[in-house]
Amino acid sequence: MPKMKSHRSAKKRFKMTASGKLKRQRAGKRHLLTSKSRKRKRNLGASQVHPADAKRMINLIDV
């Protein structure tokens, strides 16, 4: 039986934190930034994956 492959696109989108949680980027920080306020752009940084979805994402990454 060959080795299982990890989901490459998920591996690029999510990073594990030191405490074992998943980090993700928020959508909306690629273009049309002139119409968005500084505060809004600042808050569009990294956030955590919701715990309800995290287990599924970890399975995709760590096959």
Instruction: Report whether 26 contacts 46 (CB < 8 A).
Output: yes
Question: Which residue has 């287990």 as its token pair?
Answer: 55
Identity of residue 58: I
Q: Which of 3, 20, 26 is nearest to 54 (CA)?
A: 20
The pLDDT score that the predictor gives to residue 62 is 84
Alpha helices by DSSP H, listed for 1-63, are: 8-13, 38-42, 51-61
Reading the chain (63 residues) residue by residue, the pLDDT tens digits are 898 899 999 999 999 999 999 999 999 999 999 999 999 999 999 999 999 999 999 999 986
Largest CA distance in the chain: 53
Instruction: Report whether 44 contacts 24 (CB < 8 A).
Output: no
Domains of the chain, residue spans: 8-25+35-61
